[in-house]
Amino acid sequence: MRFKLSRSVERTFFILVGVVVVSSLVILLKQSHRTSDVVMGEETAGRIKAAKQSTSSPLSWPTCQRNTSMAHNMTVFSSLPAQIQDHLYYRHCRHFRPILDVPGKCGGAERSKDVFLLLVIKSFPDNYERREALRKTWGEERLESGKQIRRLFLVGTTGSGFEGRRLNGLLGLEQDEHGDILQWDFKDSFFNLTLKHVLFLEWMDRNCPHVQFLLNGDDDIFANTDNMVEYLLSIVNAKERNSEHLFVGNLNIGMGVVRDPPESKYFVPVQVQESETYPPYCGGGGFLLSGYTASVIYNMSKNITLHPIDDVYMGMCLAKAGLKPAHHVGVFTLGLRAPSTKMDPYHPCLYRDILLVHRFMPLQNYVMWHKVRDPNIRCGPSDLF
């Protein structure tokens, strides 16, 4: 038997069906959003938290504009290498938007005095293998002789298009897992290493003002951080110590400015620096300094024009403050040579008592760190060849 519904009943029926369908869609959408929130929380919560903490007003960072007057006021500007031109265009720029931040790395400004040694490593975005090797070896955050060691990597941005986004996204994933990256929105390059120093010192002044000591180095060094802590403790415990200043490394005195060839990455024309020699400085591969000295360098840097060579710039800041860098026999920023061609240049006995050596790749770092800490290592004459 078939029933014929009136038009009013049919209209009511379709309205009810529509209400049910719409309600169902709303429920499904809410569930979808909840699922997305869970996935987002698992994958990017740390990155989002870091981004939110990086600046109180993320939209207030103006883009630094190039100083175009350089090209008009300098007759030889067009003949200078491209990297020098970029340096002159932008050397007035000192403030860049933070992308990844770790404001609580030192436990807050007041508790930063509990950090004995802060490892500050300059890295490029695509040097993932180097960062991972350091995290698992001498750069491990730990207590050594009862003293806190903490770690940070300093990076800018790189590339463009898909590859650039992948590399910069990699840093976000590392931040989620390790929480050890400071990244700013500037082009990462050799001539911007000085900028990295200045941006870090500004960050330190805000977040880690009372840290006791710092290692500043590249991501391709081998640093015996156990020995560093022992050395720094000896300084702290020395009764004759009457100064808070410390800046030690591979000291360079009377170094001449590279004027030729222009293709050299160390080339600095008179338009950047008129004097022919640099002030005393320690090689930028790695050096140790006190928190006090880092603070002094930061204050001096406010009135010193950025120089394209980062370790030279540190020397300039020290000279302005009337402080001197010092040499340490355990720092080898030009590499370490074996005493004989018959000896393995990477024999662990050569590295057991040093502080730092430049030019170590990830595999070398990993192997050396475990070998020099082997309590059964033998370093007699018959063991070296």
Confidence of residue 103 (pLDDT cuts 50, 70, 90): very high
At CB < 8 A and 24+ separation, what contacts does 51-54 make?
A: 51/99, 51/100, 51/101, 53/101, 53/103, 53/104, 54/98, 54/99, 54/100, 54/101, 54/103
Residues in the chain: 385
Domains, the chain, ordered by start = 69-332 (3.90.550)
Show the tokens assigned to 239: 């009764």
pLDDT computed for residue 251 by the predictor: 98
pLDDT computed for residue 385 by the predictor: 80
pLDDT in tens, 153-193: 999 999 888 888 898 889 999 999 999 999 999 999 999 99
Task: Provide the β-strand partners of residue 336.
Answer: none
User: Model-level pTM?
Assistant: 0.85
Is the model's pLDDT at 54 over the cut of 90? Answer: no
Confidence of residue 92 (pLDDT cuts 50, 70, 90): very high
Taking alpha carbons only, the member of 168, 172, 181, 178 closest to residue 43 is 172
Taking alpha carbons only, the member of 246, 55, 213, 227 closest to residue 120 is 213
> How many whole angstroms separate alpha carbon 98 and alpha carbon 203?
10
> CA angle, 171 as apex, 99 and 134 as ends, to 5°?
120
pLDDT computed for residue 23 by the predictor: 45
- Whole-angstrom CA distances from 109 to 106, 113, 202, 204, 269 are 7, 8, 13, 9, 41
> How many whole angstroms separate alpha carbon 255 and alpha carbon 193?
20
Residue % of the chain over a pLDDT of 90: 76
E strand spans, 188-324: 213-218, 221-223, 247-249, 251-252, 281-282, 286-290
> How many whole angstroms separate alpha carbon 145 and alpha carbon 203?
27
pLDDT in tens, 265-304: 999 999 999 999 999 999 999 999 999 999 999 999 999 9
Helix (H, G, I), strand (E, B) or coil at 119: strand
Max Cα–Cα distance, the chain, nearest Å: 111
Show the tokens assigned to 322: 């009337």
Show the tokens assigned to 122: 């300059």
pLDDT in tens, 4-48: 445 554 454 444 444 444 344 433 334 443 333 333 333 334 433
Taking alpha carbons only, the member of 326, 218, 320 closest to residue 282 is 326
Confidence of residue 121 (pLDDT cuts 50, 70, 90): very high
**Is there a contact between 158 and 126 (Cβ–Cβ < 8 Å)?**
yes
> How many whole angstroms separate alpha carbon 258 and alpha carbon 265?
9
> How many whole angstroms separate alpha carbon 105 and alpha carbon 44?
19
